[in-house]
Amino acid sequence: MTQTRKLILPPGDFQAYLFDCDGTIADSMPLHYVAWKRALGEWGCEFPEETFYAWGGRLVTDIIGSLNEEQGLQMPVEQVAARKEEYYYELLPQLQPVPEVVEHIEAQHGRIPFAVVSGSSRESVTESLRTLRLLDHFRTLVCAGDYRNGKPHPEAFLMAADRLGVAPEACLVFEDTEMGIKAATAAGMASVKVLQPWEGVASS
């Protein structure tokens, strides 16, 4: 059971909220890891849990490419990515929200615009948000395939701000990975770190 913790937001008059999805809005990282293990196991590929979390925020295709390189494998990137997504969709009925983040989504919904900025596919993000009944809360989704440079590059966050018509410095980013926080900072945006259960008390 997820323990509810309060997020302390940085000061500022923010005109838009930008959210990562996996591990930030949706407590989906454990489910994604199960899906990864199943898909990669079919190719004899190892993916330690520590590496999985350290690579949080990276594009799925980049992860498969790195694993191929590290382990001398030749996994077909698109095929493995699709297989991993299939396994994740099977696990979606188990998906739960991250309550301390959803609290802020509900509090500001209808007052300021929201966007999701994710390294996951649009289909994966859409299905996660639909499962949590939050899809209609977001004006735009910036997902894998929409941008060329993944986090920690700021491109995806800047694209989301542009779509919302809000200056980067007026956006607040919610992220659970250091890579995502670095991307937000590079975009000139304030951010709040959504801590994982083992990281202690959540703070900005």
| Residue 203 contacts residue 8 (beta carbons within 8 Å) | yes
- CATH 3.40.50.1000 assigned to 16-28+96-199: yes
Structure confidence by residue, pLDDT tens digits, 101-149: 999 999 999 999 999 999 999 999 999 999 999 999 999 999 999 999 9
Residue with tokens 């923010």: 14
| Residue 177 contacts residue 57 (beta carbons within 8 Å) | yes
What does pTM read for this prediction? Answer: 0.88
Mean pLDDT computed over every residue of the chain: 93
- CATH 1.10.760 assigned to 29-93: no
Structure confidence by residue, pLDDT tens digits, 19-63: 999 999 999 999 999 999 999 999 999 999 999 988 988 889 999
Closest Cα partner for 125 from 22, 18, 16, 17?
22
Structural domain boundaries in the chain: 16-28+96-199, 29-93
Active site residue 62: no
> Of the residues 13, 20, 27, 146, which is catalytic?
20
Burial 104-134 (b: 16+ CB within 10 A, else e): bbeebeeebbbbbbbbbbeebbbbbbebbeb
Structure confidence by residue, pLDDT tens digits, 62-113: 999 999 999 999 999 999 999 999 999 999 999 999 999 999 999 999 999 9
